[in-house]
Each structure stands twice: as structure tokens, then as C-alpha cells.
């Protein structure tokens, strides 16, 4: 398995409607055929020194293998998401693990 975890920090001037559209487009990425497990979330209310709650959205996707991940990276849904919403990002951090 390959875990692909993406944390998004959206720009401060993003409206609630833009934030909702961003999340809806993120949710659409679960339609990529190589996605095995999928989760979109927002920071929890857990307050501990080691918990980072500064991000806006978290995306966690599990793929069967690297080949599945590679399909996702060039998939039209992923490319369309990036093209439309890249301008909303202030910061993005990705953690991939196998």
C-alpha cells in the first residue's frame, strides 16, 4: 500500500463558497479508479502540543501500489482539481509513505 496524505492551507481571503467548492472538488477525487481508501477532513478539536490544527483541509488516499499513485497523479480529475484550485493554496505539504 501507498499512503498519500496532503495538507492544504487555503489563502485567508477565500470565501465560504470557495471553500465549499474546494472541498467538493477534493471529494470528487475519490472517483479515480486506483483509489482504495479515501478521506477528506478538517482539523479536529483535539488540542495537544504535538497536534497541528493550522491547516484547512486534509486529504488521505491509499493506493494499492506506486503504479496506482502514478495513475492518480496524471488522472484528468486530479489535473482538473489542480488547474482550478491551485490558486486557492497558500501552502501544501504532502507526506507519502509505503
List the CATH number of the domain containing 12.
Answer: 3.30.70.100
Structural domain boundaries, residue 30 = 1-45+53-64+94-98
58 domain-assigned: yes
33 domain-assigned: yes
17 domain-assigned: yes
Answer yes or no: are the C-beta atoms of 98 and 66 closer than 8 Å: yes
Q: What is the pTM of this model?
A: 0.93
The position carrying cell 494499492 is 64
CB atoms within 10 A of CB 10: 18
37 domain-assigned: yes
40 domain-assigned: yes
30 domain-assigned: yes
**Could you read off the pLDDT of 59-70 as tens digits, one per residue?**
999 999 999 999
Q: Percent helix, strand, coil in the chain (nearest 5)?
A: 40, 35, 30
Q: Give Cβ neighbours of residue 15 (< 8 Å, ≥ 6 apart).
A: none
**Could you read off the pLDDT of 2-32 as tens digits, one per residue?**
999 999 999 999 999 999 999 999 999 999 9
Amino acid at each position: 500500500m501507498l499512503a498519500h496524505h496532503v495538507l492544504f492551507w487555503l489563502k485567508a481571503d477565500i470565501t465560504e463558497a470557495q471553500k465549499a467548492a474546494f472541498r467538493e472538488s477534493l471529494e470528487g477525487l475519490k472517483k479515480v479508479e486506483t483509489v482504495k481508501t479515501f478521506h477528506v477532513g478538517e482539523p479536529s478539536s483535539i488540542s495537544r502540543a504535538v497536534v497541528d490544527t493550522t491547516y484547512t483541509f486534509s486529504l488521505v488516499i491509499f493506493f494499492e501500489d506506486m503504479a496506482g499513485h502514478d495513475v492518480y497523479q496524471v488522472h484528468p480529475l486530479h489535473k482538473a482539481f489542480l488547474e482550478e484550485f491551485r490558486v486557492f493554496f497558500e501552502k501544501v505539504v504532502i507526506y507519502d509513505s509505503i
